[in-house]
Amino acid sequence: MVLSICEWGNDKPWEWGPTVSHLWRTTGDIYNCFDCIKDNGSWKAWGVMQIVNKQDGLRQYAGPGHWNDPDMLEVGNGMATNEDRAHFTMWNMLAAPLITGNDIRQMNPQTKEILTNKEVLAVNQDKFGVQGFRYAAKDSVETWLKPLADGKWAVTFLNRSKKPHPMSFDWQANPITDDLSNTELNAAKTTYKLRNLWLKKDAGTTK
């Protein structure tokens, strides 16, 4: 049995949920848009980026067997393919429960490809069980990191604007320490192999 608590984060379930359940909703309901708020009068539904914002300060409560739940996935429910991909990426980076909210009987090839990408799913299912975090934000592009088992890291560059943005990152000049997991990404000391999980291709090294 898996017990999921849903009281929309009103009573801070992340503080007491780990003692009685396996996952707990951290926000109100999600809505199938990338960055918007749907006002229903007495309550609001939140777009993907709004939900991501609401995860700030919660990662220390998540871990193997007890997870922050930012609500079901909206992949395949009407957003653009690149938005669906970014949505799925972020839920994997957040170590969120992955519950599909689309009609799995009627998936187009793009939706199926997103939801069944084993390399991206491996980030979510990593045995270390650490929720990712926002490391930096500049010009509408955010850098997110998630420590993985065996000294590996998942890194996401999230473009929150409506236009393409060039992105550069000097790995060796940006040593990163995660105090929560007591791990370090230091490319000045260690050379890491890079792999693009969406293209399923190696992408050089941190040199």
pLDDT per residue of the chain (207 residues) written in tens, 0 to 9: 999 999 999 999 999 999 999 999 999 999 999 999 999 999 999 999 999 999 999 999 999 999 999 999 999 999 999 999 999 999 999 999 999 999 999 999 999 999 999 999 999 999 999 999 999 999 899 999 999 999 999 999 999 999 999 889 999 999 999 999 999 999 999 999 999 999 999 999 999
State both tokens at 95. 């170590």
92 token code pair: 């994997």
Residue 132: HSE in the Cβ half-sphere, 13 Å Cα cutoff: 30
Q: What residues contact 120, with CB distance under 8 A and at least 6 apart?
A: 88, 89, 92, 197, 198
Q: What is the per-residue burial (b if ≥16 Cβ within 10 Å, else e) of 183-198?
A: bebebeeeebeeeebe
Distances (CA, A) of 184 to 148, 161, 171, 178: 11, 29, 12, 6
DSSP run (H or E) holding 159: strand 153-159
Longest dimension (CA), the chain: 54
With beta carbons less than 8 A apart as the criterion, state whether 165 and 141 touch: yes
Cβ-proximal residues to 186 (8 Å cutoff; 6+ apart), any chain: 175, 176
